[in-house]
Amino acid sequence: MDRNTDRNTGRNTDRNTDRNTALVTGANKGLGLETARRLGALGWTVFLGSRDEGRGRAAADKLAADGVDVVMVPLDVTSDASVADAVRLVRQHTGHLDVLVNNAGAPGHAVPPAEATADEIHSVYDTNVYGPVRVTQAFLPLLRAAENPRVVMVSSGGGAFSVVTDPEQPVSKMHELAYSSSKAALNMITVRYAQALPDIKFNVATPGEVANRTFAATDMNHHTGTLTVTEGTDSILRLALLDADGPTGTFEDRLGPIAW
């Protein structure tokens, strides 16, 4: 018997059966929080992932005060145990997950390539590459229980070969290995998921506008971005809200599809 089925009445007790549900990782601040806020404002139930319970609780309380149906989910994407606990918690509230936004990301320390060590790169990959794989894999059963499941991977223009090899793009002169290559790996992983799992839409969002070389002001870039977090989440929202005949395996910024 399904865990959402009442043993006595046989009725589904999933309180969100008629509601859209989304889990956003790294949603205690920045683009993750704004994504959670915007989905919540649409009437969705939002599972707000945060590796720090206090920061997550504070963020969730703010959304709840604005009327959002929000559940804070302690979730460190680098920990198998934390991800497993998160699945258990989400399952207590819903039998399906319509959207997973793998947003949590680490910038690394921008170490010059000649000095970069495998350890430094590994720690960034643990969050930006293995994290989304860990979370996606664990939530597949809940995603598969949704009618039109969508996964949005939050990557970066810095993970695009088309951008990094363009001398006009500032990132071409920002010498580091970890962050850009982690996002390039995430892009490939997304395409491979999209090809292998056609019943789930897997798309990559980058928060900026590549053609205009803009990005969103958050803690990650010490608020040097010129886009707001709302503008920065436009691509994430668009891909999260794709309907059943929408695309899979695409890479999009705020203005639309971009080159890999």
Ligand X SMILES: NC(=O)c1ccc[n+]([C@@H]2O[C@H](COP(=O)([O-])OP(=O)(O)OC[C@H]3O[C@@H](n4cnc5c(N)ncnc54)[C@H](OP(=O)(O)O)[C@@H]3O)[C@@H](O)[C@H]2O)c1
52 lines the binding site for ligand X (CB under 6 A): yes
189 lines the binding site for ligand X (CB under 6 A): no
Amino acid at 216: A
DSSP readout, 181-208?
Answer: HHHHHHHHHHHHHHHH-TTSEEEEE-SS
SS3 95: coil
39 lines the binding site for ligand X (CB under 6 A): no
Query: Which contacts (CB < 8 Å, 24+ apart) does range 187-191 have?
Result: 187/153, 187/155, 187/159, 187/160, 187/251, 187/260, 189/129, 189/132, 189/133, 189/153, 190/151, 190/153, 190/155, 190/249, 190/251, 191/249
Strands 251-253 and 256-257 turn out to be: antiparallel
Binder among 94, 218, 235, 248 for ligand X (CB under 6 A):
218
160 lines the binding site for ligand X (CB under 6 A): no
Least distance to ligand X, CB of residue 209, Å: 10
Least distance to ligand X, CB of residue 46, Å: 14
Least distance to ligand X, CB of residue 95, Å: 24
Least distance to ligand X, CB of residue 8, Å: 39
207 lines the binding site for ligand X (CB under 6 A): yes
186 lines the binding site for ligand X (CB under 6 A): no
212 lines the binding site for ligand X (CB under 6 A): no
Contact between 38 and 243 (Cβ < 8 Å): no
Segment contacting ligand X by CB under 6 A, of 61-69, 93-101, 216-224, 250-258: 216-224
Binder among 16, 20, 25, 181 for ligand X (CB under 6 A):
25
Query: Which are the catalytic amino acids?
Result: 179
Write the CA distances from 254 to 62, 112, 116, 156, 259, integer angstroms: 26, 30, 32, 12, 13
Binder among 16, 24, 32, 152 for ligand X (CB under 6 A):
32
209 lines the binding site for ligand X (CB under 6 A): no
Other beta carbons less than 10 A from residue 249's beta carbon: 15
Binder among 71, 215, 235, 254 for ligand X (CB under 6 A):
215
**Interactions with ligand X, residue window 117-146 (CB under 6 A):** 127
Tokens 């991800």 belong to residue: 83
DSSP readout, 131-144?
Answer: HHHHHHHHHHHHHH
| DSSP structure class, residue 236 | H
- Using CB atoms within 10 A of its CB, is residue 156 exposed (0-12), middle (13-18) or buried (19+)? buried
Binder among 104, 146, 177, 237 for ligand X (CB under 6 A):
104
Binder among 125, 208, 239, 254 for ligand X (CB under 6 A):
208
Residues that bind ligand X (CB under 6 A): 25-26, 28-32, 51-52, 55, 75-78, 103-106, 127, 154, 156, 206-208, 215-216, 218-221, 225, 232
